[in-house]
Structure 1
Amino acid sequence: MATSLPPEVIVGVLCRLTVKDLLRCRPVCRSWRSLIDGPDFIKLHLNHSMETSSNLGLILNSGDRELHCLDLDTLHPPLRLNYLPVVNDGDRIEILGCCNGVLALANASGLMALWNPSTRRYTKMSLSDVIESPSRAVFDFGAAGFGYDSVNDDYKLFRVFHLKDLGINRSLSEAKLYSVKAKAWKTVSDFPYHYYGYQRGNAVLANGALHWLVGEKPELDSLFSVVAFDLVSEQYCDIPLPGYKDKNFYANLGELGGWLSVTKSYNPVEIWVMKEYGCKGSWTMLFSVMPTYVTGPFNYAEPVAYLKSSDQVVLDLGGEKIALYDLEKKRIKTLSIFGVPKFVEARFCVQSLVGFDGEKATRKKKAGEDGNKVKKQKQQRGGKKRDDFLSKGFKLVL
């Protein structure tokens, strides 16, 4: 006699599966499909992955038109991410941000998309959705960031657009915010800051806010600070930096396990974290690292992710190697992974079911024989299933 499992047991089992396995489970029955597609289960699965440091990966951007994903669970060779949405039209792909498994992508033409590479669902936005362009105008893009507003349960994309009208020699700069829930852009307060040094203009997401390292002047040697844009209040605020004794260094922002972090370059490389958000006195040097016979030489070291279950930090060593730093043992080791491409940035990404009712990116089928071949194979499979049903005594009602 068949017995059914309690709902809480089914949920407990399913939330431990990978996204790939969950997508395979959806067709089992209507109740499973409804459960897996539900917002409560999507959040439960996401939280379980973050708490157990499972279903985690790194998105490696090679700086041209290719993205790869390195699975931190298996450490198999990185997979090239196919089925890229409309932003992959021959231009360089830029990652504006990553949050809860969703990438905010853009290209030089101004096309933008929010894409979940695990489910391949995406929603796209074009430049015409943001601002009406005069006939003779040149566009440039400034600060950008992507994150989640937990109070309003909304994903938001921030981007600064610079427009120069060649007809009347006039420049215009606007900060815009896209709400996934409202499916619309709106203008927010200007972003009157200069990016500091080599820090990219794309924000670091931490504590529900977007953060940029900015300077008083465009010059590299100017004094710098951190500015944050709160995704709930949609207002800017200043975040204090550690009180360094040495002022002669480069710095980059990051996020580790929910903490805002600052990487102080030059040997040794120091990684600092703000353990109490907004409190200058809570800045703590987590660890330092420098080239050794274990790591080999590297131009820079950037923390990418914190693995809570093992108390380890994933490091990007010069865009060529991935390393793990054990916070308890204070040891570093490089990961032997075959086929890691050279990359200009590594983004931490958790595999999730988060989506926005967008389109599904699929591989384009070849015309001609390939298309006919696929059609023929489907017909043969359908015929075989029909024969199997008839041989077992089932009636085929037409």
Structure 2
Amino acid sequence: MDFDSFGRAIKLDHPLEFKQYVEVVGSCNGLLCLCETEDQPIVLWNPSTRKHQKLPVALIQVPRELRVAQLTSDFCVFFTVYGFGFDSVSDDYKLVRIVQFCGFNDDLFYSEVKVYSLKSNSWRRIQCFPYYLRYERVNAAVVGGVLHWVVSRKPKSEMANLIAAFDLGVEEYRLVPLSDYLDREFHKTLNNYFRINVRVLGGCLCVICHYAVEDRDDIWVMKDYGVKESWAKLLSVELQNVLRPFDSVRPLVYSKSGGEVLLAHDNFRLLWFDLKRKTVKHDWIHGVRITFEAEICLGSLVPLPGDGGCDGKKQQAQKKKDRKGRHEVEGTGVDSLIWVPSSQGMFQVWSFFVCLFGFHGVSFPWKTVWLSKAPLRVAFFVWTAAWSKILTLDNLRKRRHIIVNRCCLCKLNGESVDHLLLHCPVAHDCWSLIFDLCGIHWVIPRTSQELLDVWRGQWVGAQARVFWRVTFFCVWWSIWKERNRRSFDGKESSVGVLKFFIICILFCWGWGRDFSSIEDIVDFLGSLRS
């Protein structure tokens, strides 16, 4: 394929699109393994056919000796890594999950390993992983049906130059030999934080060697898999030649000519490394977000149970059960549920909302907001507040921020948009000031949008009506500024100072100029009753 130039990115609708965080576990023969979190759900997805297979839940089975250790607090944390590949022996796609526990004891760790088979659509437990995984949430590098991770003998050991392999065909563990040069370099720079990572490039296993003290990264490639003498250095990068540290670089593919290597740098930049000139060139894919996760996936027509292939016994039983559950009537076809309020016959949240509240349209007083004399940024703030979208504490909690919901003005109730701008005792004093100045008695509505609906000004004088239209802009903006001042600067103004600030803003926005003396304020206050 030609990777020398990139087009514009195309968004694909994957089966976990509406999940908060999706991770690409692995890619094999056109299939992608996607995972939402460390647990569930996990799906296999073919982007070419748009078919996917949801994997059954695999519970973590903790042995008795480990449960006893947990009671004594010997084990404290665990993490999960995956490996996805093709088993050519059994003609099956397999997903390996390793759950590794480690504790306060340096020599204490335990690994639970389960293997998922696409043919049987089931998980089964195999022998424990005998090594300690050096990197959390770093999934396996797959070469020829063999999974690879960087490991050590013990959790706290500095001997982190081992590569463990798991053969999907025979389901056995082994170590991949490194070149003698890498072994000598590791022992020579043991105290200088030399570490390695394992990746795949051009179908070959490659190792990224990071020299922290020398500020350099080397990439070695095993040209003939399993042969120790076939290790060869591909490139060496001095870190001062790039913008940021290079320890999270990942080689992806060769260029069409084979003279350049495409590197993913820190999941936010693509780099072309010229193997002959030893230079780095930046590249970009239009339409891609600032941060991304790069994975090579070549299109294929590999079938999944969703399109009739690789059906397991459970899928067949479920289909038979579905056929029995249908009640057919001659001449009318198969019965189905139809949602009458929707023109398409399918349930829609919007149509259900209309049935509940009888609401057939959005009526928003946009002229009151956008045709006022208030500054544009204040109008935008009022428009956002009317839709209850400003970042009050209750809205931050809805976004899963762990924070105590307490109004910083009254220190009595929780902070919401309607409370802060309308019903807070401090806000009530500000509104009372406006009503007293205009000589009216009024009850504050329940919500912010209801306030805009009734804010017409027909009960005030003609001259005061000009100021009345920007009054709620001044009150809301002043309250919001005071709230932010107390929250972020730790400075608190009295209610009297806040009221004077509202009057000054009302004068400037209503007359379009600043006041020059206190007499201007007095004349202004007198005009509000005329």
Provide TM-score, normalisation by structure 2: 0.48
Correspondence for 1:111: 41
Relative to its length, the structure with more strand (as a share) is 1
Correspondence for 2:7: 76
Displacement, 1:263? 0.5
What SS does the corresponding residue of 2:229 show, helix, strand or coil? helix
Query: Does the C-alpha gap of structure 1 residues 281 and 172 become closer, same or farther in structure 2, counting only changes over 3 Å?
Result: closer
Correspondence for 2:268: 320
Alignment of 1:120-269 (within 5 A): 120-127=50-57, 141-161=79-99, 174-196=112-134, 198=135, 200-219=137-156, 221-242=158-179, 243-244=181-182, 245=185, 246-247=188-189, 248=192, 249-266=194-211, 267-269=215-217
Distance 1:275 1:157 in 2: 26
Does residue 272 of structure 1 match 2:203?
Answer: no
Query: Does the C-alpha gap of structure 1 residues 139 and 182 become closer, same or farther in structure 2, counting only changes over 3 Å?
Result: farther
What SS does the corresponding residue of 1:241 show, helix, strand or coil? coil
Relative to its length, the structure with more helix (as a share) is 2
Query: Does the C-alpha gap of structure 1 residues 367 and 268 become closer, same or farther in structure 2, counting only changes over 3 Å?
Result: farther
User: Deviation string for 1:187-242 (max 9, x for gaps)?
Assistant: 2221132122x464411101320000001232373443011000111111111223
| Preserved CA contact (<8 Å) 1:301 1:315 | no
Distance 2:42 2:343 in 1: 31
Displacement, 1:78? 3.0
Query: Does the C-alpha gap of structure 1 residues 241 and 163 become closer, same or farther in structure 2, counting only changes over 3 Å?
Result: closer
Distance 1:367 1:281 in 2: 72
Displacement, 1:265? 1.7
What SS does the corresponding residue of 1:350 show, helix, strand or coil? coil
Letter in 1 for 2:201: L
Distance 2:291 2:343 in 1: 34
Distance 2:238 2:196 in 1: 15
| Preserved CA contact (<8 Å) 1:304 1:347 | no
User: Deviation string for 1:157-179 (max 9, x for gaps)?
Assistant: 11124699xxxxxx985311111
Displacement, 1:281? 2.1
User: Deviation string for 1:234-291 (max 9, x for gaps)?
Assistant: 1111112233324332221101111111101243211101112122222111011234
| Preserved CA contact (<8 Å) 2:80 2:137 | no
What SS does the corresponding residue of 2:294 show, helix, strand or coil? strand
Distance 1:357 1:73 in 2: 36
Letter in 2 for 1:226: I
| 110-119 or 220-229, larger mean C-alpha shift | 220-229
Displacement, 1:370? 7.8
Correspondence for 2:24: 95
Distance 2:157 2:268 in 1: 26
Question: What 5-or-longer segments of structure 2 have no aligned partner?
Answer: 71-75, 103-108, 309-338, 347-530
Displacement, 1:114? 0.8
Question: What 5-or-longer segments of structure 1 have no aligned partner?
Answer: 1-52, 55-71, 165-170, 361-365, 374-398
Does residue 358 of structure 1 match 2:317?
Answer: no
What SS does the corresponding residue of 1:79 show, helix, strand or coil? coil
Query: Does the C-alpha gap of structure 1 residues 371 and 274 become closer, same or farther in structure 2, counting only changes over 3 Å?
Result: same
Query: Does the C-alpha gap of structure 1 residues 269 and 370 become closer, same or farther in structure 2, counting only changes over 3 Å?
Result: farther
What SS does the corresponding residue of 1:287 show, helix, strand or coil? strand
Provide TM-score, normalisation by structure 1: 0.62
Query: Does the C-alpha gap of structure 1 residues 107 and 152 become closer, same or farther in structure 2, counting only changes over 3 Å?
Result: same
Query: Does the C-alpha gap of structure 1 residues 163 and 278 become closer, same or farther in structure 2, counting only changes over 3 Å?
Result: closer
Distance 2:293 2:276 in 1: 27
Does residue 309 of structure 1 match 2:256?
Answer: yes
Correspondence for 2:508: none
| Preserved CA contact (<8 Å) 1:141 1:159 | no
User: Deviation string for 1:332-369 (max 9, x for gaps)?
Assistant: 31114334324364222222222313269xxxxx9976
Displacement, 1:326? 3.2
Displacement, 1:324? 1.6
User: Deviation string for 1:61-112 (max 9, x for gaps)?
Assistant: xxxxxxxxxxx47623433432324xx5634322222112211122234221
What SS does the corresponding residue of 2:256 show, helix, strand or coil? coil
Query: Does the C-alpha gap of structure 1 residues 338 and 176 become closer, same or farther in structure 2, counting only changes over 3 Å?
Result: same
Letter in 2 for 1:144: Y
| Preserved CA contact (<8 Å) 1:320 1:340 | no
Distance 1:356 1:133 in 2: 32
Distance 1:150 1:255 in 2: 19
Distance 1:225 1:210 in 2: 14
Does residue 283 of structure 1 match 2:231?
Answer: yes
| Preserved CA contact (<8 Å) 2:251 2:263 | yes
- C-alpha RMSD of the superposition: 3.6
Distance 1:338 1:210 in 2: 33
Query: Does the C-alpha gap of structure 1 residues 215 and 354 become closer, same or farther in structure 2, counting only changes over 3 Å?
Result: same
Query: Does the C-alpha gap of structure 1 residues 107 and 282 become closer, same or farther in structure 2, counting only changes over 3 Å?
Result: same
Distance 1:79 1:193 in 2: 40
